[in-house]
Amino acid sequence: MYQALRKLVFTDSHCASDATMKNYEELFEKLDTNKDGKVDVSELKAGLTAMGFTLGKGAAQKIVSSGDSDKDEGLDFAEFSKYLKEHEKKLKLTFKSLDRNNDGRIDYKEIQQSLADLGVSLTQEHAQKILQSIDADGTMTVDWNEWREHFLFNPADNLQEIIRYWKHSTVLDIGDSLTIPDEFTEEEKTTGLWWKQLAAGAMAGAVSRTGTAPLDRMKVFMQVHASKSNKISLIGGFKQMLKEGGVTSLWRGNGVNVLKIAPETAIKFMAYEQYKKLLSSEGGKVQPHERFMAGSLAGATAQTAIYPMEVMKTRLTLRKTGQYSGMFDCAKKILKKEGVKAFYKGYIPNIIGIIPYAGIDLAVYESLKNFWLSRYAKDTANPGVLVLLGCGTISSTCGQLASYPLALIRTRMQAQASVEGGEQVTMTKLVKTIVEKDGFFGLYRGILPNFMKVIPAVSISYVVYEYMKTGLGISK
């Protein structure tokens, strides 16, 4: 039956030819079991499974949703043939971009190189595993027919979509600004898809940060005010905030926290592209360590540009009712009372924090990814949403554990003038004071609400990102 399907769909003729259209008609008739002139999700799933196709979870639904232009929850023949034609064109383009030596076959080295170009380092063993999941004849190379057979009824358009799963995406927003920027393919840059992805990511971050703002405010409140002599519990802290300013006070500082996403994302992306060009070795290929350096420098550049907003976010988060009327009033009062230097308080620990956060985050993510590929990637390299979210959440949490003391010092320095009787001290003196007064774990005050917001923040940002991608036409 599988060979019959191959004969039906994979003839060597142009998409628009009569022979291909006839093949599409025969295939459509086989799938349309109730003969109502359309193929729905259950018919597609049952028909393709019977013909030997292994469909991923939700794949049939995605295919129907992609081709269903009249929204009647089924594909008529015109929609069905249009989907196959367009999908095949995308697959051909991707196959050609991966076939670097133009010999009509893709080997594991070409897959390795394509992954490396998108920021994913992969061992030979793992690249071969991906190849084996597509290779039907066991030659350890993939020709055009094998590629087409594997992906034609797979809603993942191409290998790059699988690769994109494994990129450590900054879409998973946990409210920190220390992540390495996203990487985009040349195709995404020339077609303008990159800015849509950045816009979708920014919106996801905005909704995610707004949803977890009360926990973020509690974190900052505990970082600045909690100590051995002034123990603040989660419930006690929230009661205190509600008593002082009502329910809306839980979102203090969120406006500027959301507002800084767009400029920071844009600056980070543009700086990253420039640093990669400066640091890349001969041949223009960017090595993993060069990518990490470029990302860290880009993060530092973006943080330098938007750091005054970070200071204002902390001040607005900690403000008492009536202290500031808004962001501009806050900026004006800081400038008048403390001068321009106040807008860069805590800058040094913030910049230093980028290296351990991003380094550990990426290292843990790579380790988890490679563990999954070596242990569970039997017939596919596609990890699925839960694995992706799990890897992102664990790696981000490890990154936070490493950089949290620096984040606490930064916040304390930013808040110094707003704390009554607060002495203006240096970073090293502040560390010494906290350790002497509260011990080593004093550097981790407020980490509980910080951890509590990670899973909801990651989940919200992922869901919103997927909806935004659909809305902006990135994926249908």
**In the prediction, which pLDDT does 14 show?**
45
**In the prediction, which pLDDT does 311 show?**
92
Fold match, 1-97 / 99-150: yes
Top CATH class, 1-97: mainly alpha
Instruction: Measure the CA–CA gap between 403 and 253, rounded to whole angstroms.
Output: 22
The structure tokens listed for 101 are 């030596």
Q: How many C-beta atoms surround the C-beta of residue 67 within 10 A?
A: 21
Instruction: Measure the CA–CA gap between 437 and 113, rounded to whole angstroms.
Output: 53
Place of tokens 């060979």: 3
Beta strand segments in 82-177, E: 105-106, 142-143
Tell me the pLDDT tens digit for each residue of 356-406.
Answer: 888 888 788 878 877 877 777 655 566 767 787 888 888 888 888 889 999
Domain residue extents for the chain: 1-97, 99-150, 186-471
**In the prediction, which pLDDT does 47 show?**
81
Instruction: Measure the CA–CA gap between 272 and 194, rounded to whole angstroms.
Output: 14
**Superfamily holding 186-471:** Mitochondrial carrier domain (1.50.40.10)
**In the prediction, which pLDDT does 72 show?**
83
**In the prediction, which pLDDT does 255 show?**
92
Instruction: Measure the CA–CA gap between 422 and 345, rounded to whole angstroms.
Output: 14
**In the prediction, which pLDDT does 16 show?**
43
Among positive and negative, which fits the CA dihedral 313, 315, 317, 323? negative
Place of tokens 């794949």: 59
pLDDT averaged over 10-residue windows placed end to end, the chain, 476 residues: 42 52 81 86 82 67 79 84 79 76 85 68 74 78 80 58 61 64 68 81 90 93 84 88 91 92 88 85 66 85 92 91 88 90 91 86 81 68 73 85 91 78 76 90 91 87 85 70
- From the list 267, 251, 253, the residue with the least C-alpha distance to 177 is 267
Which residues on adjacent β-strands are paired with residue 105? 143
Instruction: Measure the CA–CA gap between 131 and 381, rounded to whole angstroms.
Output: 9
Tell me the pLDDT tens digit for each residue of 126-185.
Answer: 777 777 777 777 788 888 888 777 777 665 544 555 566 666 665 566 666 666 666 676
Instruction: Measure the CA–CA gap between 38 and 33, rounded to whole angstroms.
Output: 9
**In the prediction, which pLDDT does 89 show?**
77
**In the prediction, which pLDDT does 329 show?**
92
Global pTM reads 0.68
**In the prediction, which pLDDT does 15 show?**
43
Q: Is 253 left (phi over 0), alpha (psi -120 to 50) or beta?
A: left
Give me the amino acid identity at 372. Answer: W
Instruction: Measure the CA–CA gap between 112 and 285, rounded to whole angstroms.
Output: 13
CATH of the domain spanning 99-150, picked from 1.10.238.10, 1.20.59.10, 3.30.9.10, 3.90.660.20:
1.10.238.10
**In the prediction, which pLDDT does 5 show?**
42
